[in-house]
Every structure is written in structure tokens, then in C-alpha cells.
Amino acid sequence: MLELKHLAFAAGDTGKNTEIIRDLSLTIPDNRFIVITGPNGGGKSTLAKLIAGIEKSTAGQIIFNGEDISGKSITERAQMGIGFAFQQPVRFKGLTVLDLLRIAARRQLSVGDACEYLSEVGLCAKDYIHREINASLSGGELKRIEIATILARDIQLALFDEPEAGIDLWSFSNLIRIFENMRNDSGGKTIIVISHQERILSIADEIIVLADGTVQKQGPRDEILPEIIGTNIAVNACHKLDGKEAAE
């Protein structure tokens, strides 16, 4: 179980402090599939980074399985079973896909095992397993490898930050299938996906709408989804662009 109590995060130079996360409280029970959505800049990625320990909260507490982890390092939180797939995956010169999967699994994963994870994210393993995670990989490939590293880990809480970004339409259904599988055999795992996609929202147990650094709405999918479909929360970017272009 993950509990956030009056969480706050401020960034910026002294004097000109901006609160990006404001007095945010949330309870996420085990074995749930949660989707967080909300406008760009609302604080979703920041919240995920706070949970993973990449950013340190300026106030409030993060309680994971009854333990206050607010003061714990990224490494400690990872070792406690928190996994985080970045919105913008990192590239490494020299490290191969197999190297990264082995680091994620924390064991000498066999090539066969590693291939399983890659096939799950729709990558032909033999083409990718020995590829370097460098600039030669496309954005979509990188995102899928990022997801595969989470699959390779033994975790209790998985955070995915816009996993669908850059993934083509054809692979999108595959992605939905991955999350459905994870949800079905989660074995006590909690999955938090940050997404703007209706199809991802539509498989959520619960939806959280985050805007202006705090929770605007939280509740079961059937309650929240009808409220946000067609509003400018879920499809924010497109509508704004349309409007702007129309005005030009």
C-alpha cells in the first residue's frame, strides 16, 4: 500500500519558489491498476519522481507498506520494490539491451529469459538483445525497452510515465495487452500508469486526475471516465493545437 500524506514539492531558485506539488494526499491500496491523468504541466511526472526518490519532497510523507520512505534514497526504494519507467528513457553508450535487462533483473538472466521480456513488448529479441542503448534506437524502441526492464524486475509498485508516448498505433494494442496481463497476474502488485490515452484509462480500476500539483478527482473508472472524456483534460494537447492553428 502506498500512502501520500500532505506531500509538497517546490522547485526553483530561492525567493522564487514555485510549488509544483501542493498538499497532495492519496491512498493507493495493493493490487490495483491506477491511471493518473491530467493536463500537461500538472505535476504527474514530478509526483512519480517523488515516489521513486528522484526528487525529494519538501513537505509531507510517503508511506510504502507502512514504512515512511520519504528519507530513503532512490536505490533503497528500488530495492524495496518500487520500479519506474521514465517518460523519457535514458540512453547509454556501450550498455546493451541485454546488459540493462540483466541489471534490472539483478541476476545473470539467460539470453532466453531476456528474449521473453523483449517479445512481450513486441520487439524481435534477436534484433535487439545485443544492440547498444544509444542514439541509434528509435524513440518507440527505447520506450519499449524501458517497459521490458520493468517487466524483468521483481517489484511491488510499478510506475509508468506515459508508456504509450511514441508507440505506434499497431503496437498500442500490444501495450494495452501488456498492462492487462500485468493487471491480471499482478499478484499483489500495484501499477500506476500516467497516461492521456482513453484506452489506457478504460482499463483502470481507478483514475486520478492531477492538475495544478494536486488531486482534482479520484475514484473508480466508471465514475471518473465519463466526467473527463471529451473535456480538455484527456485530449488537452490536440484541442489546443487545433484551436491555435484554426486561429492562424
Partner 1 sequence: MKAMDAVQKRLLEEVADLHDIPEGAYNLRANGESVGRNTTANIDIQSKTDRSGIDIRIRPGTKHESVHIPVVLSESGLKETVYNDFYIGEDCDVLIVAGCGIDNCGSQDSQHDGVHRFFVGKNAKIRYVEKHYGSGAGSGQRILNPVTEVYQEEGSTVEMEMVQIKGVDSTQRTTLAELKEGAKLIVQERLMTHGTQQAYSVYKVDLKGSGSSADVVSRSVARDQSFQKLDMCIIGNAACSGHTECDSIIMDSGRILAVPSLEANHVDAALVHEAAIGKIAGEQLVKLMTLGLTEAEAEAQIINGFLK
Ligand X SMILES: Nc1ncnc2c1ncn2[C@@H]1O[C@H](COP(=O)(O)OP(=O)(O)OP(=O)(O)O)[C@@H](O)[C@H]1O
**Which of these segments, 2-10, 43-51, 89-97, 184-192, binds Mg ion (CB under 5 A)?**
43-51
Amino acid identity, residue 160?
A: F
**Which of these segments, 37-45, 55-63, 103-111, 184-192, binds Mg ion (CB under 5 A)?**
37-45
Of 49 and 102, the one with the shorter C-beta distance to ligand X is 49
**Which of these segments, 9-17, 92-100, 109-117, 223-231, binds partner 1 (CB under 8 A)?**
92-100
Report the first-to-last Cα separation within the chain, whole angstroms.
49
Is residue 102 helix, strand or coil? Answer: helix
Residues β-bridged to residue 220: 206
Half-sphere exposure of 206 (CA within 13 A, CB side): 16
Q: Could you say whether residue 165 binds partner 1 (CB under 8 A)?
A: no
Among 24, 28, 33, 43, binds ligand X (CB under 6 A): 43
Q: Could you say whether residue 45 binds Mg ion (CB under 5 A)?
A: yes
Of 39 and 122, the one with the shorter C-beta distance to ligand X is 39
Site string for partner 1, 53-82 (x = CB under 8 A): xx------------------xxx--xx--x
Q: Could you say whether residue 197 binds ligand X (CB under 6 A)?
A: no
The Cα–Cα gap between 70 and 72 comes to 6
CB-based contact 192:36 (threshold 8 Å): yes
Residues in the interface with partner 1 (CB under 8 A) total 26
- Among residue numbers 186 through 245, which ones bind partner 1 (CB under 8 A)? none
Among 4, 24, 44, 100, binds ligand X (CB under 6 A): 44
The dihedral built from the CA positions of residue 8, 214, 73 and 134, taken in this order, carries a sign that is: negative
Among 1, 10, 95, 129, binds partner 1 (CB under 8 A): 95
Strand ranges inside 43-189, DSSP E: 59-64, 67-68, 82-85, 157-161
Among 38, 83, 122, 163, binds partner 1 (CB under 8 A): 83
* 24 contacts: CB under 8 Å, gap ≥ 6: 4, 6, 7, 8, 47, 60, 213, 214, 215
Chain residues binding Mg ion by CB under 5 A are: 44-45, 87
